[in-house]
Amino acid sequence: MKVILIAFFFVFNFVFAQDEKCKEALNNSLKMEQCCKMPHMIEESDILETAKKLEKKYQNNPGLMACMLNQELLKKIGLENLDREPCKNFAMKVTKEPWTTIVINAEETCNKKLSKYIQLIQPIYNVTSDQCDLKYGAFVNCIHITIFGKCPTESFTASPKCDNSKYVVNECEDDEVFLKYLNQQ
């Protein structure tokens, strides 16, 4: 019985310390773009061109603009269904190892979390499903976070802020990380 109590207190203290460290770390902004040289999977010119087309129509609703931009870009590159094979083929076409494997694994992870992330993104984007399909925004943001968490050493800038961001993504509760990332954009 004494061993069980000691084990319980050890696990409880470990989990509590982890939660406290995450709360503290989440107070800082996530520095993903500055900390990891991720491959550009969609050409900057395509992003700008698509954003420009949508801007006039959705300029008064930034959430709808972000949602439509993600939706249009994923459709443009042939990933409108977010199916495994097209995502895998796309990753193989636009990335090199180790990124190809990282992106393919991120796709699988994000498709599993998609329904949960759609619920989290809805109040932030403040759009309804008949205005825009929220799965695209949930998927794109999840992919970005997940890829960052697996950023290879050779592409990662080691610094206190970057190390903090990677710690948050890899060790803290994923819903909190997702919301933190969305709210700082």
Average pLDDT, the chain: 87
For the chain, how many residues are written?
A: 185
pLDDT tens, position by position, 27-76: 888 888 899 999 989 999 999 999 999 998 998 999 999 999 999 999 99
Q: Residue 14 burial by CB count (10 A; 0-12/13-18/19+): exposed, middle or buried? A: exposed
> DSSP string spanning 67-80?
HHHHHHHHHHTT-T
pTM of the model: 0.84
Q: Which CATH number fits domain 2-183: 1.10.3470, 3.40.47, 1.10.238, 3.30.2320?
A: 1.10.238
Angle made by CA atoms 107, 111, 114, in degrees to the nearest 5: 130
